[in-house]
A = this chain, B = another copy of it.
Amino acid sequence: MNYPVKAFQELVDNLHKLPGIGPKTAERLSLFILGMDPEEARKISDAIGKLHERVKRCPVCFNLSDGGECPVCLDEKRDHSVVLVVEEAKDVLAIERAGSFSGVYHVIGGTIRLASGIGPEKLNIDGLIARVRNGGIKEIILATNLTHEGNLTAMYIKKELDGIDVEISRIASGIPIGTELEFADGVTLTESIKGRVHLTKE
């Protein structure tokens, strides 16, 4: 749809760039913003406009921070000897939301994708190796995504850590909790059987 009013058209077009925002939703949001108190609309604009300059990266784990170390790294109650390695900061948010992990993180910033020119040197892997070499870390949990690239990147990191005295683990793959077997894909089913956990008799 083309709108006769340029500023309105621009907002619809810009909102339409966001994921999950179709043309109709973009129009509905634009009309809502137009109907808002201008001061409230200005707050949304400012929050977007200042995001990039105000959100920093933690110098230790590359998680989101206000500047300086992130709250997880600063938290003395967490177990700093267990480091969970993820691809992106959003993975940290997802795990923190689950609320069951008490160690710390390392965000590598993506996966190795040689075809797209992303080699390991473009990720925060050297920082991870240096962090482990510095000592005090007992276990590295590789929690990159369970995709082809995530697996390759995990294997690359495992190889880089060879010879350093640290336990290395990979998060388990298998059937999601609550899933019926008939709906699981074949690869997951196969992995789930290969990775079966033996139950000891009591």
**Is A1 on the interface with B (CB-CB < 8 A)?**
yes
In the complex, how many residues of chain A place their beta carbon closer than 8 angstroms to a beta carbon of chain B? 53
A45: B residues at CB distance < 8 A: 45-46, 48-49
Question: Which of chain B's residues have a CB closer than 8 A to the CB of A72?
Answer: 4
> Among the listed stretches A34-42, A139-147, A172-180, A183-191, which one makes contact with chain B, having 4 or more residues with CB under 8 Å of it?
A34-42
Residues of chain B within 8 A (CB-CB) of A114 are: none
Residue numbers in B under 8 Å from A51 (CB-CB): 7-8, 11, 30, 33-34, 41
**Is A38's CB under 8 angstroms from B52's CB?**
yes
Dominant SS at the A interface?
helix
User: Does A31 belong to the interface (CB within 8 Å)?
Assistant: yes
Q: Does A77 contact B (CB under 8 A)?
A: no
**Which listed residue (B10, B17, B25) contacts A20, Cβ 8 A?**
B25
CB neighbours of A1 from chain B (8 A): 93, 97
Q: Contact check, B47 vs A14: say whether CB atoms are below 8 A apart.
A: yes
**In whole angstroms, what is the CA distance A93 to B1 when docked?**
9
Given contacts A42-B49, A90-B31, A93-B3, contact A8 B71 (CB under 8 A): no
Tell me how many chains of this kind the complex includes. 2
CB-nearest residue of chain B to A39: B52
> At the interface with chain B, which of A62-70, A122-130, A148-156, A159-167?
A62-70
* 27 A/B residue pairs, CB under 8 Å, sorted by A: A4-B64, A5-B55, A6-B54, A7-B47, A7-B50, A7-B55, A8-B51, A8-B55, A8-B64, A10-B47, A13-B47, A14-B43, A14-B44, A15-B47, A17-B44, A18-B29, A18-B44, A20-B25, A20-B28, A20-B29, A33-B51, A34-B52, A34-B55, A38-B53, A41-B49, A41-B52, A49-B49
